[in-house]
Structures are given as C-alpha cells and as structure tokens.
Structure 1
C-alpha cells in the first residue's frame, strides 16, 4: 500500500512539473513575440492627456475619444516611452464624420497639434480628404479603405528612415524619409525617437481605440 501511495505521489509530481513547464513555455513565447500592451483595457494609467483631458475616457475595454481638441500621450514604463524602431498598432473604429490620428516619435505638449513627429490619419468620412492610413501631409491616402462603425487594424512600422503603414494587413504607405526632410515635409517634421499619442480632433468626432500595442525593434 505504501509503495502504491508513493507511486501516485510521484505521478502527481511529474504531472505538475509538466504543466508548469507548459505554462512557462507559453509565457516565453509571448515574450519572444515582443508585443507590449500600452492600454490595460480599463484605465488610462500610463497615459497623459493635454489641454482637454475629458476628451478621453474608457468604455467597454476601449479608449473613447470624444470632445474638444486634445492629445493622449503614452508616458508609461515601456522603454521609458521613448521608441525609435517599432511596430505600433491598434484596433480602431470611427463613427460617421469623425477625425482622429495616431502620432509617432512625438512628445508631450500642453496645447495645440503635436509639433514633433508624424501623424498617421484616422478618418473615413470627415470633410478632410486625407483618409485613414495617410502619413499626414507627407504621403496621403485619398481612398476610403475601411468603413465607419466597423473595427479595423491600423499598424505603423518604423525601421530606420522607413515608415510602413498597413490597414487590415494591406500596405497603404511605404515611405522612406529623405535627407532633405526638414525642407520638404510640412512643418519640418522628421523621424528621431519619442512616444506615441492618440488624437482628439474636434467635439463632433467620436473614435474608439482598443488593443493598443507596440513591438520594439532592433536599432
């Protein structure tokens, strides 16, 4: 009887170790994939809003952007919110007539449109003709690729001087920044490094963001 009990104990221990290893391997895979979530789905912890913080709220696991002009800058711990090469993506849903944006290589400022970095457009039916996926005023997209009231994925990859923008895995912008960028680009915007931000464009716009993630890439 004692030998049988010892055998069962041994089987239990082996089974427990096997499950622990499986769980550990799953965790390692997630780390290996390299994606970091920037939004916890319930709070705006790690983010800082400019000029009109009430423009941003959290509802049903999404960041809701609705109100006067404001920008929500990531200031959390991931890479000390200073990214150079990376893939940044989110699930986005616009509502009719709405305008928003996703900023890269930017920095917090109290008021106004961000002066540092680039804006990637979020706009499927606003009066501004630059549609979703545009590298705003640098390489613009005129075609409406996705519809209002439907979730889609917007992804921006920065590698060196190259910016690639994808909408639902479709490449809509492939831009390499020239050496003369300070002269050619609107406002002299250029790649450097910095944080990411979401835009509240105007009180009549309402846009949703969820699954906001970044994957740092080697320099």
Structure 2
C-alpha cells in the first residue's frame, strides 16, 4: 500500500509537470489573445497576391519556411506582392535577409489601382538592402531600415552581415511611426505633419501625388530584381 501511494504521488507530479509545460507552449492561443496574426504560413502564398494582378504569383517561392523573392522583376515594379487584407494602425514584425548586393523593401498603406504602376507610388517603405555590398553608392535615405527617401536610420542601427537573419518591425499608430531593427528603434517620426509634408515635396515623392496619404492599405513586399528572404511575418492591429 505504501509503495502504491508513492507511485500515485510520483505520477501526479509527472502529470502536473506535463500540464505546466503544455500550458507554457500554447503559442497559437497566446498569439491570438495578444492580437498577433500570421501573414505567412511558411508553406504557401495564401493571403498574398501580385500587385494589381489576379494571375498566379510566379516570382516568389517558399524555401525552408521562408517566403523568397526570386528576383525575377527587371526593375522596382511588376513583381511585388501585397496582402489580401488592408490595415490601418498596426504593429508589423518580420525576419529578413538578402543575398549579396540585393535590394528589396516592405511597404504599407499600399493602394491598388490601374493608375498606379507599383506599390511605392502610394506606400511608405521600410528599406531592405545590403548596405555593404550594393553595387552603387547609397545615400543614407536608401540604406537598410530607413523610411525610404524620407527619414534616415539613427546611430542605434546594427545590421547583420549578409546571409544572417535580421529582425524588423514597423509601428504605425495614428500617424506616429517607428522602425525597429534587431531590437533597437532606429527611426521615429510623425506622418502628415508640416515637416513630413516638407520632406515629401522636396524629395522624389513630389512626382507621386498620392504617396503616403492613405490611412489604410495593403502590406507589400518588393521584388527589385534581387533575391530576398522573409519569414515569421506577424501583424497585430492597434
């Protein structure tokens, strides 16, 4: 009887331990409770489509759980993909890496319409690029993590070497914008202010009247003719 009691107690301890472990590893439930949803399932292009297109996407593929731009586009238009869903205020996070000398980007509040040729005409961009090996000289506003052609990254920026995964995030909340790279905030600004409008009209965006004006839109990943890798793409609405 005594041995049986000890065995019963031991089993109870094991069961309790397993229950505690399981409760700690319920990631999907935890993510759902906190509002995070996945934009990429690691296996398919479900939830994405070609910008301004209804035909199947052929220039992006899945490799080892990563969404890979094959670099099929000849320029910065024609190969971008966008989310099926639109977002207004959000926190977006993802991991990325690029091949040597490659260029890509993540855009938001993108508008689809026949009058636009590419997402960058309307959507602000978090620049994704190989700062070190890019074949041309880069201005600061063209470098990784920058709000492309608008706001440069600060001294907190620490970029991983080519071939290693970086972690990035964009926070957009009623015009307040933050860019994060590898755990550090590298860009912060307010959209639609006088200063923002001044930057906009004095940069390349002066030729794109609808750039950055939308308050909701799609998330876009850019095919700039180079190979780029994205994974663990998550978003929560604010």
Question: TM-score, normalising length from structure 1?
Answer: 0.78
Trace 1:144-183 onto structure 2 (pairs within 5 A). 145-180=159-194, 181-182=196-197
Structure 1 position 103 matched with structure 2 position 107: yes
In 2, the alpha carbon distance for the partners of 1:200 and 1:29 equals 33
Structure 1 position 139 matched with structure 2 position 139: no
Cα displacement (A) at 1:93? 0.6
Cα displacement (A) at 1:83? 1.2
Cα displacement (A) at 1:144? 6.9
CA contact (8 A) 1:64 1:208 kept: yes
Q: Which residue matches 2:82?
A: 73
Structure 1 position 112 matched with structure 2 position 117: yes
Q: Which residue matches 2:227?
A: 206
Report the more deviating stretch, 35-44 or 176-185: 176-185
In 1, the alpha carbon distance for the partners of 2:124 and 2:224 equals 15
- Please list the CA deviations of residues 49-94 of structure 1 after superposition, one character each: whole Å capped at 9, or x if unmatched: 136932211111111112114111010xxxxx22111111111011
In 1, the alpha carbon distance for the partners of 2:96 and 2:113 equals 24
In 2, the alpha carbon distance for the partners of 1:144 and 1:99 equals 18
Gaps of 5+ in 1: 1-7, 76-80
Cα displacement (A) at 1:183? 5.5
In 2, the alpha carbon distance for the partners of 1:36 and 1:166 equals 19
Tell me how large the CA RMSD over aligned residues is: 3.0
In 2, the alpha carbon distance for the partners of 1:154 and 1:25 equals 24
Cα displacement (A) at 1:148? 1.2
Instruction: Give the secondary-structure state (helix, strand or coil) at the position aligned to 1:82.
Output: strand
Question: TM-score, normalising length from structure 2?
Answer: 0.72
CA contact (8 A) 2:95 2:165 kept: yes
Gaps of 5+ in 2: 1-7
Instruction: From the superposition, tell whether residues 32 and 144 of structure 1 become closer, same or farther in structure 2 (CA, over 3 Å).
Output: closer
Q: Which residue matches 2:44?
A: 43
CA contact (8 A) 1:118 1:190 kept: no
Structure 1 position 196 matched with structure 2 position 208: no
CA contact (8 A) 1:119 1:135 kept: yes
In 1, the alpha carbon distance for the partners of 2:183 and 2:113 equals 32
Cα displacement (A) at 1:109? 4.9
In 2, the alpha carbon distance for the partners of 1:49 and 1:194 equals 15
